[in-house]
Structure 1
Amino acid sequence: MTAATMKDAFSRAEVVSIWPKLDRTLVNNGRRPAVDMPPHLFGAVWDVILQVADATATKPDYAAIAYLTAAASLIGGKRRASPYGLDWSEPCILWCAALGDPSSRKSAPLDHMTKPLWALQDAAKEEHDERKREYAAEVERAKVERIAWQDEVKQLAGSPGGTPPMPTIAVEPEPPRERRTVISDATPEAVADVLVGNPQGVLCYNDELAGWLESFDRYTSGGRPFWLSAYGGRPHAITRKGAGTIHIPFNGVSVLGSIQPDKVVDHLDGANDGLVPRILWAWPDKLPPRPQTVRVDRTALEAAYSRLDHLGWGEDEAGNPCAKVLRLDDDARDVFSEWEISNAANDGEGSSLFASFAGKLGGLVLRLALVAELTDWAFNGGGEPATISLRSLSAAIAFCEDYAKPMAQRVYGDAAVSSEDRNASLLARYIVKNGFRTVNMRELRQHPHKGHLKPLQAKGAMDAAFEVAQDAGWIRPAFSRDGDTVGQPRKDYDVNPAALGGAA
């Protein structure tokens, strides 16, 4: 055979791969893809959300859920949404979680959208300081009046007749409570103490939401019952040893925070008591770093927050403060009734956690519609709305159908995957992201890889992930020693070229 015929034969020969078939599904491991955040629910605030997304190199999701939670916390107990104007009404309370890997820049957009809440709190400090001075004067006056009353009682000692009652002015007043818009201490006692002076409710903002989730069962005073009550805005009482009982007419706490996907899984196991399925999840795809192109202008956002904060209370028949109830207008009511039937027919699809989440969507739709209606008023002015429009309701329903449901399926579906498969999926994504041709188990346990592969650092997790990846055709052992040295060989693994887009 001549050289020419040999070359021709080789060019026509079938290439046989020495690698097994690559399982490309390992990268996502059945995880539902992220969906885009729909803008219609947000109205005029959407421009600010896009500016924050641009400034933080993130998708709009994180800034959007931060706005929803912050706005809900300012409305709080002052307004409720009712579908039919009868007994059922929902408080303006939202729990939202920003999911993403440690380098997803989750915190920055949340900070942007909650920063004006701190400004509102600081602005109230001057008034609080003045009230403290008034309180000190009232205490001194009460002391003087009490002494005068005591002298009067002494003068009457031994004489017939009743004891004169202590005058009201002799009773020391309660100290003034500080205006709080944001808290981070999630113990029931600490939250209850804040709510006594902030009856409209408050935002519990935790950059690491795992601590809040862990707090449910940490306290003997009843963490889970307290937080279930806090989502419903129900009256609540906490008895403290030696300090009496705190009575809270409106236990209303909106919650915002960030968490990593691998950490949230630990809190989903056995969590189907109705508490975790109340969370609205945002888990967008991570964006690469990029330069900021526009400056964030929070002027309109700050004005809107202030307007929501200054919403007044209604009054009950006895003249006591109570929530004003906004019912759906006639068109919105009919649409909501039809959607409820459709949602109930499909809420059994998927896992039990998702079924529980979907079963609670009626209340979430009403809460989101209330925020949307008052957002439009806060940004655009005019008279305060007395009902919730079809526009706001339709936007809330579309948001839940097109975003909230798919995101919940993404979160709960990830929880259904075994930890070994999740870790192998993380390893596969890390290989593709960095374009590794070889990987070494020991090196992946060290800087700079260790921080990106935290779940794999647990005992046995790295070995299990490598085993799954090898079975899926992603890697194969290529152990070697340097020269004629003795001891354990280097545990190098070759990466299947097909995983990086090449030929195996």
Structure 2
Amino acid sequence: MNVAQAVPFEPATQWPDPDMNIGQPSRPAAPVMSSDDFSHVYGPWADWITTAAEVKGTPKDYVALTLLSAASAAIGNARWAVPWEGWKEPPVLWSMLVGDPSAGKSPALDSVLDPVKEIERSLSEDYRRARDEWESDNELASFALAQWKADAKTAVADGAEPPAKPAEADAGKPPVRERISITDITTEKVADLLSSTWRGLLLARDELSGWLSSMDRYNGGGDRPFWLEAYGGRSYTIDRKNSPEPIIVEHLSVSIVGGTQPDRLSDLLVKADDDGLLARFMVVFPDPVQLSRPSRCMSDQSMIDAINRLRGLQHSVCEDGGKRPFFVHFSDGAADILDKFRVQCRSWEADASGLFKSHIGKMPGLVVRVANVLAHLDWAATNGTDCPSLIEAFHVGRACDLVGDYLRLHAFRAYGAVKPAPEVEGARVIARIIQDEQPTGLKVRDIQHRNRSGLGTAKQVQAALSVLVDADWLQEIKIETGGRPSVVYAVNPKLGG
């Protein structure tokens, strides 16, 4: 029997309005950092961030996290933090700006990325000049190489010792185009860039959710492990089909910054695997700011100077002459603060669940990274000062305040609100299926066959469907079949379109 024929009332007039809150998580209010706390955490950059936010008409939280991720990419593999022996962290930071389409995420990204693009334009000009010079040298080298081959051939034919290959017969490797930021390229291309530039990269995207949800679409899940390694700065090797030589990256370090909308983040949370990828993001989800004409002007030059200074940080050298990060150690006071923060995180974890629990578990490492970036941002803001030789208690205390007292609350607002009952979680998953596919009716086995977490048994599915019945999304219909009645859940037609 058709589902519509079994509905005991007229769809267009007698269905009640569905409760649309069933598919949305309840969220606490947006945390707000006081001006004094903001100045304490961001130090010499607090005024620049505030001015940029006013000029762009965006929350200053968005600008601040964009700055941290961009600075972490500029530092890259040059300087890693060492809290104590046996623990090393790259400066890599991933930032997610959550808000509605008009919240100002893109302008906030532009406030930092426009100066980065200006630097990259200069790098491109330098590359073109170096490439032109190399091509001229390479052409001359080809003549010298041809002459050497001819001389060697003649010497061998005469039974004489062939001449040694002259230095001018080899122009050396071509110059490398330096990059700071990327947008949407394959993992192989990212690895190729890092293998040649070594330093690190910034992946910047206006919308992160599409990238996150589609990264496994074409290669059966290979992208997620790649990006997990990119957060840790570990070595990585990619075997290529069309080349006998693999791409070998000594330190796969990619910082990330981008925005997403709350409903798209909710959809990601329903579909995401619990592999810790989302939990690695610093998240801000502020309320929109009131728009007004700015009274101040921002300076791109101060950001350009700072990023260039961070990019000028020198790496260390291995015993075999290869590159390695310079390790910046924590002072004893800084290590003590971090140790106390780890204990605090353990107590927060006890009251958390799901992705929020996973995020809290990663906060000690995040504090190490943020402290490293803040220390070097302080240095980059002031000419004539020495590069940090230690991460001090002052840097770690600020990082703990930011990550533990502030960003933790934003993460809770974004994806860690109080965990609902299992049947409510299941109802939210089914609600997403209904919104995406718009079926006229569902059966229990239709949901079971999808192998969604928490919806594997008939009992679990029935409990979730009952929540949707109470919310007027569904109506339970029993269809007589001559034996045991068949149960179909008709979908409220007001959910269509």
What TM-score does the superposition give when structure 1 sets the normalisation length?
0.75
Q: Distance in 2 between matches of 1:306 and 1:199?
A: 16
Cα separation, partners in 2 of 1:29 and 1:195, compared to 1, 3 Å: closer
Check whether the contact 1:239–1:246 (CA below 8 A) recurs between aligned residues: yes
In 2 relative to 1, CA 169–251 (structure 1 residues): closer, same or farther, beyond 3 Å?
farther
Q: 1:380 to 1:406 in 2, by over 3 A?
A: same
Which stretch of structure 1 is more off in the superposition, 68-77 or 160-169?
160-169
CA deviation profile, 1:46-69 (whole Å, cap 9, x unmatched): 111111221233321111110001
Q: Is the 8 A contact 1:98 1:257 kept in 2?
A: yes
Equivalent residue number for residue 334 of structure 2: 332
Question: Which whole-Å CA distance do the structure 2 matches of 1:285 and 1:455 have between them?
Answer: 29
> Counterparts of 2:393 and 2:343 in 1: how far apart (Å)?
17
Q: In 2 relative to 1, CA 297–156 (structure 1 residues): closer, same or farther, beyond 3 Å?
A: closer
Whether the 8 Å contact between 1:280 and 1:404 is mirrored in structure 2 is yes
Quote the Cα distance in structure 2 between the aligned partners of 1:56 and 1:456.
38
Match of 1:279 in 2: 281
Cα distance, 1:127 vs structure 2: 1.8
1:12 matched residue in structure 2: none
Q: Which runs of 5+ in 2 are unaligned?
A: 1-18, 442-465, 473-492
The one-letter amino acid paired with 1:307 is R
Work out whether residues 43 and 375 of structure 1, in 8 Å CA contact, stay in contact via their aligned partners in 2: no
Residue 413 of structure 2 is matched in structure 1 by 410
Please name the residue that 1:210 is paired with. Answer: 209
Rounded to whole Å, the distance in 1 between the matches of 2:237 and 2:414 is 34
Deviation at 1:380, TM superposition (A): 2.4
The one-letter amino acid paired with 1:66 is T
TM superposition shift of 1:301: 2.5
Q: CA deviation at 1:27?
A: 12
The match for 2:27 among 8, 31, 39 is 31
**CA offsets, 1:207-252, max 9 Å, x none?**
1112321343134392122111111111212222213321212211
In structure 1, the residue matched to 2:58 is 58
Count matched residues: 423
Q: Distance in 1 between matches of 2:230 and 2:416?
A: 27
Letter in 2 for 1:105: G
Instruction: Give 1:275 deviation, angstroms.
Output: 1.7
* Change over 3 Å in CA distance of 1:157–1:27 after alignment to 2: closer
- Which is further off, 48-57 or 91-100? 48-57
**One-letter identity of the residue aligned with 1:291:** R
| 1:185 and 1:191 in contact (8 A); partners too | no
Give the equivalent residue in structure 1 for 2:107: 108
Q: Does 1:251 align with 2:247?
A: no
Greater C-alpha Rg: 1
Equivalent runs, 1:169-208 vs 2, <5 Å: 169-171=168-170, 173-208=172-207
Q: Secondary structure at the match of 2:257?
A: strand
Residue 304 (structure 2) aligns with: 302
Deviations 1:279-329 (A, max 9, x none): 111111123433323222333323222211211222233343321111111
The answer to whether residue 269 in structure 2 is matched with residue 260 in structure 1 is: no
Instruction: Judge which range, 298-307 or 88-97, deviates more.
Output: 298-307
In 1, the alpha carbon distance for the partners of 2:72 and 2:107 equals 20
Tell me if structure 1 keeps the 8 A contact 2:98–2:284. yes
Say whether residues 1:82 and 2:94 are aligned partners. no
Label 1:392 to 1:379 Cα distance change in 2 as closer, same or farther (>3 A). same
Contact kept? 2:22, 2:427, Cα under 8 Å: no
Amino acid at match of 1:192: A
In the TM superposition, residue 471 of structure 1 has moved relative to its aligned partner by 7.1
How far apart are residue 72 of structure 1 and its match?
Answer: 0.5
* 1:399–1:462 CA distance, 2 compared to 1 (3 A): farther
Partner AA of 1:280 in structure 2 = M
Q: CA deviation at 1:469?
A: 12
Instruction: Give the SS at the match of 1:98.
Output: strand
Correspondence for 1:46: 46
Q: How do residues 347-426 of structure 1 correspond to structure 2 at under 5 angstroms?
A: 347-381=349-383, 382-413=385-416
Per mean C-alpha deviation after superposition, the further-off stretch among 24-33 and 249-258 is: 24-33
Q: Cα–Cα, structure 1 residues 131 and 400, in superposed 2: closer, same or farther, change >3 Å?
A: same
The range that moved more, 281-290 or 107-116, is 281-290
1:3-22: CA deviations, max 9, x gaps?
Answer: xxxxxxxxxxxxxxxxxxxx
Does the 8 Å contact 1:203/1:254 carry over to 2? yes
Deviation by residue 1:134-184 (Cα, 9 ceiling, x = unmatched): 211221133123212321332244566887665564345332111111111
CA distance in 2, matches of 1:214, 1:24: 24
Equivalent residues of 1:216, 1:227 under 8 A apart: no
CA–CA distance in structure 2, aligned partners of residues 456 and 100 of structure 1 = 24
Q: Greater shift after overlay, 264-273 or 105-114? A: 264-273
Name the structure 1 match of 2:137.
138
Q: Which moved more, 1:343-352 or 1:233-242?
A: 343-352
Look up the equivalent residue of 2:399 and give its one-letter code.
Answer: A
Distance 1:371 1:462 in 2: 53
Aligned positions of 1:228-247 closer than 5 A? 228-243=228-243, 244-247=245-248
Kindly report the root-mean-square deviation, in angstroms, between the aligned alpha carbons of the 2 structures: 3.4
Partner deviation per Cα, 1:411-443 (whole Å, 9 max, x = no partner): 22369675977999xxxxxxxxxxxxxxxxxxx
Answer whether contact 2:89 2:365 (CA < 8 A) is retained.
Answer: yes
Query: Alpha-carbon deviation of 1:472?
Result: 7.9
Q: Does structure 2 conserve the Cα–Cα contact (< 8 Å) formed by 1:82 and 1:90?
A: yes
| Counterpart-to-counterpart distance in 2, 1:371 and 1:82 | 13
TM superposition shift of 1:470: 12
Going from structure 1 to structure 2, the CA distance change for 1:237 and 1:215 (only over 3 Å counts) comes to farther
Q: Report SS of the residue matched to 2:265.
A: helix
How far apart, CA to CA, are the structure 2 residues paired with 1:296 and 1:188?
Answer: 35
Report the Cα offset of residue 370 of structure 1.
Answer: 0.5
Shift of 1:468: 9.6
Q: Tell me the equivalent position of 1:318.
A: 320
Task: Report which stretch shifted further, 244-253 or 69-78.
Answer: 244-253
Alpha-carbon distance in structure 1 between the residues aligned to 2:104 and 2:467: 30
The Cα shift of 1:462 comes to 13
Q: In structure 1, give the amino acid aligned to 2:414.
A: V
Separation in 2, partners of 1:410, 1:158: 80
Q: Secondary structure at the match of 1:203?
A: strand
Give the Cα–Cα distance (whole angstroms) in 2 for the partners of residues 272 and 126 of structure 1.
44
